[in-house]
Chains A and B, each alone.
Chain A
Amino acid sequence: MKKRFNPIKDKSSEIIEFLMTSPDMPDDEALRFKLRLSIEEAVENVVRYAYDGGIGWLEAGTSLDHDSLVLTIELRDAGIPFNPLEKDDPDITLGAEEREIGGLGIFLCKKMMDSINYRYENGNNVLTMSKKIR
């Protein structure tokens, strides 16, 4: 199932809840925690940075492969072309003084999901995140 949200300014919670209540989502609480975190970080990235002033759309969807039980979350927007996966991972060995505040969102997605991919297609940023749910 998928849905287009427009505009997306201040709509993060609504978009996250739409995805979390998809029938494709598992019931297991530990899995839902990881999925919610990945969804929140990825959605927030689009809502905050994809469009100047947040005026634009985001299409959010889920799909479940019933054979492999792999859940895929797809986010699509027509904002500024941006591949979040090109960003360097934060150095998690640094002490508090050296650690920068921020830069953790996509890193958490990478750690929580099994795979995460980005493509630029027909003027859209398309981010897909997959996780085996059984």
Chain B
Amino acid sequence: MNITINNVDNKTLVTLDGRLDTSNADQFQQDIAPLMEGDKPNIDIDCTGMTYTSSQGLRLFLSLQKSVMSRGGKMVMRNMNPQVKEVFDITGFSNIITIL
């Protein structure tokens, strides 16, 4: 899983590329650490390149969402492929995280 993080104006643009699974979830957790800091974050995650996520990935997206909410910020995930979206739907994460 490759991740790029760019701060543009007051927005944090994140691009995800690859598979998020048990082999790289720990690395991903370190990679998203910068997103867990700062007041009123405005995070926009482009999931076009994310081909897979397991519960390990969901766990991290939930942590991130909780962190963002506790800091009075907002977060959206966009362009999810249908299979990844189904995982978010089945687990009720689509109701917790804004998916565009």
A residues touching B (Cβ–Cβ < 8 Å)? 12-13, 16, 30, 33-34, 36-37, 40-41, 44, 90, 92-97, 99, 101-102, 104-105, 107-108, 111
Task: With both chains docked as a complex, state the minimum distance between the C-beta of B71 and any C-beta of chain A, in angstroms.
Answer: 13
A104 CB contact (under 8 Å) in B23, B59, B63, B65: B59
B22 at the interface (CB under 8 A from A): yes
> Are B55 and A104 in contact (CB-based, < 8 A)?
yes
12 further interface pairs, Cβ-Cβ under 8 Å (given A33-B83, A92-B90, A105-B55): A40-B22, A40-B54, A41-B55, A44-B22, A90-B91, A92-B91, A94-B92, A96-B96, A96-B97, A97-B69, A101-B59, A104-B58
Q: Is the interface of A mostly helix, strand, loop or mixed?
A: helix
Residue in B closest to A13 when the chains form the complex, CB atoms? B23
Q: How far is the CA of A12 from the CA of B66 in the complex (A)?
A: 28
A-B contact count (CB 8 A): 62
B10 at the interface (CB under 8 A from A): no
Q: How large is the interface on B (under 10, 10 to 19, 20 to 34, 35 or more residues)?
A: 20 to 34
Q: How far is the CA of A30 from the CA of B52 in the complex (A)?
A: 11
Task: With both chains docked as a complex, state the minimum distance between the C-beta of A30 and any C-beta of chain B, in angstroms.
Answer: 6
Task: With both chains docked as a complex, state the minimum distance between the C-beta of A51 and any C-beta of chain B, in angstroms.
Answer: 17
Task: With both chains docked as a complex, state the minimum distance between the C-beta of A42 and any C-beta of chain B, in angstroms.
Answer: 11
Instruction: Please give, as numbers and ranges, the residues of chain A lying within 8 Å of B52 by CB-CB distance.
Output: 33, 36-37
Contacts A33-B83, A97-B69: A92 and B22 contacting too (C-beta < 8 A)?
no
30 A–B pairs (Cβ distance < 8 Å), ordered by A: A12-B22, A12-B23, A16-B22, A33-B52, A37-B52, A37-B87, A40-B21, A40-B22, A40-B54, A41-B54, A41-B55, A44-B56, A90-B91, A92-B95, A93-B95, A94-B92, A95-B96, A96-B96, A99-B62, A99-B92, A101-B59, A101-B62, A102-B55, A102-B59, A104-B55, A104-B58, A104-B59, A104-B91, A105-B55, A108-B55
